[in-house]
Structure 1
Amino acid sequence: MEKLTSATDPAARDVDRLADLFPAAVTEVTDAAGNLTRAIDFDLLRERLDGYVTDGAPERYRLDWPGRRVAQRAAREPATGTLRPSRAESVDFDTAGNLLIEGDNLDVLKLLQESFLGRIKVIYIDPPYNTGNDFIYDDDFTQTRAGYLAGSGQADGVANPESGGRFHSRWLSMMYPRLALARDLLTDDGVVFVSIDDHEVDNLRKICAEIFGEQNFVAQIIWQKVYAPKNSARWFSEDHDYIVVFARNRERWQPRPLARTEAMEARYRNPDGDPRGPWKAENMSARNRYDAGVYPITTPSGRVIDGPPRGSYWRISRQRFDELNDDDRIWWGAGGDNAPAVKRFLSEVSAGRTPQTLWTYDEVGHTQDAKRTLLRYVPFENTANVLNSVKPVELVQRILQLAGRPGDGDIVLDFFAGSATTAHAVLAQNQADGGNRRFISVQIPEPLPVAESGLSSIFEIGLTRVRNVISAGVPGGFRVLRLDSSNFMDLRVDPDELRQDALVDQVDRVRADRDAEDLLFETLLTVGLDPGLPITRLSSSFVVGAGELIACFDDRVDPAVVRAIAERRPVRAVFRDSAFADDAARVNAEQIFAALSPATDVRAV
């Protein structure tokens, strides 16, 4: 009975990809522990890519900064923690597919790789804007001022030690590994939207082009975030932010059309009582050269129009014009003497409108709207704790409307969740269009500026908000998960340090303060199952989904329990390793599954 390992290793997944593309480059080496492990023979890979490999070229096109290599390496380092559930803080814990996760998003993104690889349809993030100050995501690879000066060649004091450069480097080093991990989570037709301001929009475009591919850039949207100019501005009133959009594969994704507005519908009328319904007149002339679009026309009143207006052409040929006129699709004005116009019927035009790159506050809200909404659902004691950078729910709803169809079960990820605007927007949009989207919301436990009795962190602002949105009548539920150390102790001991009296303590490697649900969720992440799947109880066992996993973490498991699980023929079955009295009991359990459910993958933790 094999044991589960809990570490998620992005680098190992990259090796899998290379092995699939270049099997000849796969070899085996001995690792630090003396075990044989798969590796890539880079010399063979270089031979296969002869002429397309650059190594240390002094001049090449790319964005570079002090700390770049360390940031890239951070995305490849394995995750060793876990996500622990909090049933008491959740709403409809057993059935809710939405996830509110507290923890540093770099670690959380690594832990989500196995379960959500290629499954996230929409990512929206509102990362910290680089204002020239240190920010809460203080990763080990971000740089001190001295480190920046040394890495940028300014340590000797000759060059101008621009402090802004250091903050750009810190911001880039923080963002790069998170975006790299996020890309792997997207579906082939997935898309990411990133809010940003003027300070880092250029750098954001560059690192996104590197990670997602420049060919997958979609748009840079301008959002009008305020409804009145700031007269206190020293130079210009900053009235807008940007939303940068990249697709995983631009050929596979395109925005859905937006619903027509009432103003657009009102342009269609029916002054002549046409039985085909409302229509609007479209100019028949255009400036584009069209040689078949030069001919005289006689109006119903008898007036002859020699041709299109000077410098333009009729949009359609004479033959097509006659066909439309015979079908009463040409409008000559109420008196029959106007220049011709083509009748465009409302019933025949597209049901939607093409989205534009300018989003005004009257359509998607502004910052004051966002604050009012937040205050409606979170009872702050101190004004200082009301977030200034919160986004309107309507803004994120617009993204959801464009990014996918309501009933496709899209998973929406926000790993800079803040006050959980994205989670709120998913619930609100599902209520508006009958959708079944799910959200995954990740927020670091950043303390509030001022202590409050009911709130201790930014995460708890979002938790309170979503809970109160649901209490106010918006359908939904969620599971609260928190980043923590693994439930399993590392029992590896150097042979020289191994003592006979310590062996008893190593029979069970589960930490003393962890329960069965803790073990269940680490198991889900380890085997790559969705931690949002429904969970039901079968006696002392957990049944996940429709039998994707049955887990029993009792201290002792007798053959009757093993048999009952095997008879349900789950895809996977997991037991606590210490629950079997001896090797004979383990073998007996394996034989029961071999007889009743041979296809089940049986593991121990």
Structure 2
Amino acid sequence: MQKLEGKTFNVVQENIEKLKELFPEVFTEDKVDIDRLRLALGENVEKEKERYEFTWNGKTEAIQLAQKQTTGTLLPCKDESVNWSNTQNLYIEGDNLEVLRVLQNSYRNKVKMIYIDPPYNTGNDFIYEDDYSDNLKNYKIKNNENMKSNPETYGRFHTKWLNMMYPRLKIAKNLLKEDGVIFISISDKEIHNLRKICDEIFGEENFEGHIHWRRRHNQPNDKTKLIGLVAEHIIVYAKNKSELKASGVGKIGLTGEFSNPDNDPRGEWASKPWKVGSDQNGSKYVITTPTGVVYDGEWMGDYGNYKRLLDDNRIYFPKNGDGSPRKKYYKFEREEEGQCANNWWDAKDFGHNQGANNETYELMGVKNIFSNPKPTELIKNLIQISNAKNDDIILDFFAGSGSTAHATLQQNIDDGQSRRFILVQLPELLDDKNKDQKAAYDFLTLLNKPLNMSEIGKERIRRVAEKIKNEIHNNSVVQIDSGFKCFKLDETNLKTWDEESLNLERSLLDFVEPIKEGRSQEDVVYEVLLKYGIDLTVPIKETKIAGKTVFTIGLGYLLVCLERDLTLYEIEEMAKEKPARIVFYDEGFIDDRVRTNAQQILKRYGVEDIRVI
């Protein structure tokens, strides 16, 4: 029987295995011979002392942090969830570096889109300081402290921000699918540094663009500034540019006022010119309007195509029938008739800060409950151009106000898709003396909820879920998953996997009860899923087989039995279920004879993957 590994995905080992596939000759006694590797790479090795590079104090440690494994886990919190049994969405509370590490086994290469709105490092933002030696313990200690900002008067102002961002982006790349894409909001303060570390992590060749978003619809009137701030930046990187293009790039809806002046039975429409632009090629022919005006020029399609559209009432002549022809497009065709996004997103079509505040006020009933939330319209358009569709996962590991979850659910309603979200948020303690947090602090106090940032985000999603439920109550066709499973980051459930005790001799008590006090069998089951690399939203059913409690996962694909004193009869009854995989306690068998024969019985029923913890 094979031991189930208690740690998360080993990035370094995977890199070594990839290197072995490419250059087996550079290994000697399972170690990399750097001199042989240089020879294998030929002239492509940089040898000059002076070279183009971007570095800072702590960069080496930041890289190591991204590669470090953890024994941490995620504890299920059903009472804080919505529609626990059926939802495919996740809300995870904890330090996002540790959470990303924990998710690597189950969600590596599975995320289609990432959107994050990290701290902008303005001097007032909280910048989390990781601890290389034991970041999970560091998180648990800091979880009970008021978070500290990173003022410019501190030494190494940019360094602290870079050391926080680098390892998180490094792991985030591992979670993206090959055709995945990441969008990162940022201000002027760190845009130059963000571009540099993203060029290094994702590759300059995978840079897709730099969107300038006008975040406010009105003109600033700050006499202390030379240039008023009205825009923010969103930088965009693909994991693999060619894979992204091959899978299809999404389009945003064409702008325009939709109406139905001719009572077209297909509904509201807008129009675009049928005549080609100066930089396009078209077909030459003559078009005569209903009023007899003749237009001679180059058109978007050949004459046959034009005639078919005209007969189908898809060609519109403005100016009471005198104007140049235009093609009608309908609201329901926005995806097909959309256009490539450009790098200037105005407030009118893509939302603005005031609109986002109004949106959350309408939902939560409190003004300024979030500090500068992103409008859902902005994120919905990012979802569209990412081409995320049915069952695709959208990840936000700086979840903040929960706008990404809100936007994902709203976009699913708009186009009938079933995208999933994973949100991660640090439970940053709210301060009633902070004017930006006072409204949220008072709101949670009235609800008798814990006074932290993740609680306010979860409450927003609950209210969105209730709003969606009310909106689609009378529509049996619309099925939207508006729930979420809540999990919280914590240390491993098992004493044998606890990093503090890994190098210590196990006590006899650990053999008697390996689960830590206060943890349940179900907690351990979810940890098994994470270590095995199984999606946290798979169906789990607790049942009895031969009188023993068994968790059947993924409709019987995996069985987990955490009972003691197992007999051959009980094991054979479990084997008759014919799971692909089965997990027991290492000390769960009644004696060594049962342990020895159990494997043979299981294999007789086709169970090949047998693990113990």
C-alpha contact 1:508 1:578 (8 A) present in aligned 2:
no
C-alpha contact 2:91 2:484 (8 A) present in aligned 1:
yes
- Offset of residue 75 of structure 1: 0.7
1:423 paired residue number: 405
C-alpha contact 1:268 1:278 (8 A) present in aligned 2:
no
2:232 paired residue number: 241
Alignment partner for residue 538 of structure 1, among 540, 543, 567? 543
- Offset of residue 323 of structure 1: 12
1:445 paired residue number: 427
1:603 paired residue number: 611
Report matched runs for 1:206-221 at 5 Å: 206-221=196-211
CA 400–490 in structure 1, closer or farther in 2 if over 3 Å, else same? same
Work out the CA distance in 2 between the residues paired with 1:426 and 1:24.
48
Alignment partner for residue 396 of structure 1, among 357, 379, 382? 379
CA 585–280 in structure 1, closer or farther in 2 if over 3 Å, else same? closer
- Any idea what SS the aligned residue of 1:237 has? coil
Per-residue Cα deviation, 1:230-265 (whole angstroms, up to 9, x for no partner): 323521321111111111122222531223445378
C-alpha contact 1:82 1:485 (8 A) present in aligned 2:
yes
Per-residue Cα deviation, 1:318-366 (whole angstroms, up to 9, x for no partner): xx89998999999999999x9x967757699962223222222222322
- Offset of residue 437 of structure 1: 0.9
Give the aligned residue type for 1:258.
I
Work out the CA distance in 2 between the residues paired with 1:423 and 1:120.
15
2:5 paired residue number: 5
Structure 2 gaps, min length 5: 134-151, 433-440, 470-480
Work out the CA distance in 2 between the residues paired with 1:371 and 1:332.
41
| 1:414 aligns to 2:396 (yes or no) | yes
CA 278–221 in structure 1, closer or farther in 2 if over 3 Å, else same? closer
Work out the CA distance in 2 between the residues paired with 1:516 and 1:537.
10
Per-residue Cα deviation, 1:13-69 (whole angstroms, up to 9, x for no partner): 2222222322333444xxxxxxxxx543333322211221225x3322222222211
C-alpha contact 2:317 2:326 (8 A) present in aligned 1:
no
Higher deviation after alignment, 110-119 or 120-129? 110-119
C-alpha contact 1:269 1:278 (8 A) present in aligned 2:
no
Work out the CA distance in 1 between the residues paired with 2:468 and 2:309.
52
CA 495–113 in structure 1, closer or farther in 2 if over 3 Å, else same? closer
- Offset of residue 571 of structure 1: 1.9
Per-residue Cα deviation, 1:240-299 (whole angstroms, up to 9, x for no partner): 1111111112222253122344537889999xxxxxx99876557848999x99x9x999
1:433 paired residue number: 415
Work out the CA distance in 2 between the residues paired with 1:163 and 1:76.
31
1:257 paired residue number: 251
Alignment partner for residue 563 of structure 2, among 541, 554, 558? 554
Work out the CA distance in 1 between the residues paired with 2:502 and 2:361.
59
Give the aligned residue type for 1:573.
I
- Offset of residue 568 of structure 1: 2.1
- Any idea what SS the aligned residue of 1:578 has? coil
Give the aligned residue type for 1:480.
C
- Offset of residue 92 of structure 1: 2.3
Per-residue Cα deviation, 1:552-574 (whole angstroms, up to 9, x for no partner): 11234333442233222222111
2:602 paired residue number: 593
Give the aligned residue type for 1:411.
I
C-alpha contact 1:255 1:355 (8 A) present in aligned 2:
no
CA 173–233 in structure 1, closer or farther in 2 if over 3 Å, else same? farther
Alignment partner for residue 43 of structure 1, among 18, 23, 35? 35
Work out the CA distance in 1 between the residues paired with 2:316 and 2:95.
63
- Offset of residue 112 of structure 1: 1.0
2:454 paired residue number: 459
C-alpha contact 1:6 1:522 (8 A) present in aligned 2:
no
Per-residue Cα deviation, 1:68-98 (whole angstroms, up to 9, x for no partner): 1111111111122111111222222232221
CA 548–335 in structure 1, closer or farther in 2 if over 3 Å, else same? closer
- Offset of residue 405 of structure 1: 4.7
Per-residue Cα deviation, 1:174-211 (whole angstroms, up to 9, x for no partner): 11111111111111111001111111111111111111
Higher deviation after alignment, 530-539 or 192-201? 530-539
Work out the CA distance in 2 between the residues paired with 1:494 and 1:477.
38
1:582 paired residue number: 591
CA 538–237 in structure 1, closer or farther in 2 if over 3 Å, else same? same
Work out the CA distance in 2 between the residues paired with 1:24 and 1:123.
38
Give the aligned residue type for 2:15.
D
Higher deviation after alignment, 351-360 or 512-521? 351-360
2:17 paired residue number: 16
1:60 paired residue number: 51
- Offset of residue 379 of structure 1: 6.3
2:341 paired residue number: 355
C-alpha contact 2:91 2:487 (8 A) present in aligned 1:
yes
C-alpha contact 2:496 2:502 (8 A) present in aligned 1:
no
C-alpha contact 1:123 1:193 (8 A) present in aligned 2:
yes
Higher deviation after alignment, 131-140 or 408-417? 131-140
Report matched runs for 1:1-400 at 5 Å: 1-8=1-8, 9-28=10-29, 38-54=30-46, 57-133=48-124, 135-140=126-131, 166-232=156-222, 234-235=224-225, 236-253=227-244, 254-263=248-257, 282-283=274-275, 286=278, 315=298, 351-378=337-364, 386-400=369-383
2:143 paired residue number: none
1:518 paired residue number: 523
Identity of aligned residues (%): 36
TM-score, normalised with respect to structure 2: 0.79
- Any idea what SS the aligned residue of 1:13 has? helix
- Any idea what SS the aligned residue of 2:180 has? strand
Give the aligned residue type for 2:46.
T
Give the aligned residue type for 1:449.
D
TM-score, normalised with respect to structure 1: 0.80
Work out the CA distance in 1 between the residues paired with 2:281 and 2:500.
81
- Offset of residue 412 of structure 1: 0.6
1:145 paired residue number: none
Work out the CA distance in 1 between the residues paired with 2:51 and 2:406.
44
2:484 paired residue number: 478
- Offset of residue 218 of structure 1: 1.0
Higher deviation after alignment, 39-48 or 391-400? 39-48
- Any idea what SS the aligned residue of 2:399 has? coil
CA 126–287 in structure 1, closer or farther in 2 if over 3 Å, else same? closer
CA 27–134 in structure 1, closer or farther in 2 if over 3 Å, else same? farther
- Any idea what SS the aligned residue of 1:586 has? helix
Per-residue Cα deviation, 1:447-469 (whole angstroms, up to 9, x for no partner): 01225342421011111111222
C-alpha contact 1:260 1:352 (8 A) present in aligned 2:
yes
- Offset of residue 127 of structure 1: 0.3
- Offset of residue 227 of structure 1: 1.9
Work out the CA distance in 2 between the residues paired with 1:92 and 1:402.
29
CA 352–165 in structure 1, closer or farther in 2 if over 3 Å, else same? farther
C-alpha contact 2:559 2:582 (8 A) present in aligned 1:
yes
Rg (Cα) greater in structure: 1
Q: What is the CA RMSD across the aligned residues, in angstroms?
A: 4.1
C-alpha contact 2:542 2:551 (8 A) present in aligned 1:
yes
Give the aligned residue type for 1:581.
I
C-alpha contact 2:493 2:516 (8 A) present in aligned 1:
yes
- Any idea what SS the aligned residue of 2:114 has? strand
C-alpha contact 2:465 2:483 (8 A) present in aligned 1:
yes
Work out the CA distance in 1 between the residues paired with 2:308 and 2:166.
62
